[in-house]
Amino acid sequence: MRIAGGGHMRDWLALHDRPALVVGAGGLGGASAVSLAAQGARVALVDVDERRLEAVVRAAKEAGGEGTVEPIACDIRSAERCRAVVDEAVRLVGTPQVFLHAVGRNVRRPVLDLGDADWADLLELNLSTAYWLGQQVGRLMVAAGYGRMVFVSSVSGLLAHADHAPYAATKGGLNQLVRVMAREWAASGVTVNAVAPGYIETDLTKDHLDRNGNRETLAGLVPARRLGVPEEVADAVTFLASDRAGFITGQVLYVDGGRVLV
């Protein structure tokens, strides 16, 4: 079967043998790494948790496909370590043509109950690492004249959820960082987009969802009347990382079952 633009359906996304760097091996990053590898990409996967890395490597092998996942254990919370991780990814899989930032943490407390460390820690992990890694990978992609960059944002970057102040601020800032990077690098063949998940069942959200009927309450806020799963976010990431998304840049794609509509 032929499709518009040439090629066969099996290589429709044109990700086979593409070097990719995925930072964050948790639910969304891990699922995205597996999805990219299933499409044939050569993925360097970064996380501070070695057991999480091992689990994703196993999942990628079990999923089949011709791609690979190469683990890199690293705490990325400094500009120097972010740059070193990019260098290591280049050594392992080649200069990244695909980049995904899927790192984030939340502290659910009211503004008046937050300490200075809560603000500083979330700003560094959620937003500063996106800037440091995006800048370093961006240099390589601009020089190469090609790149697909995706950042994991959140519906919290748009909605004013109580008890989410630092998290929401970092995601709103991330959305604007994505837009500026996209504007500056578009002429160099580099696209920069974000996916903004709604309520997804991940390691980050599991403890919260398991308490006080939160899972049922949140599902009731979603027009689709259910929570999402990591693979649904990974599908959006994989599309934005592909050649089929070459004229899409500076966008925030909400993967939320309609949550931001109400």
The residues that are catalytic are: 167
Sign of the alpha-carbon torsion through 133, 135, 139, 144: positive
Instruction: Please say whether the beta carbons of 196 and 207 come within 8 A.
Output: no
Which residues have a Cβ under 8 Å from the Cβ of 243 and sit 6 or more positions away?
Answer: 13, 14
Angle CA(22)–CA(25)–CA(26) in degrees, nearest 5?
A: 130
The pair phi, psi for residue 44, each rounded to 5°, is -95, 120
Instruction: Please say whether the beta carbons of 149 and 190 come within 8 A.
Output: yes
Label residues 211-248 b or e (16+ Cβ within 10 Å = b): eeeebeebeeebeeeebbebebbbebbbbbbbbbbeee
Structure tokens that stand for 161 in this block = 């959820």
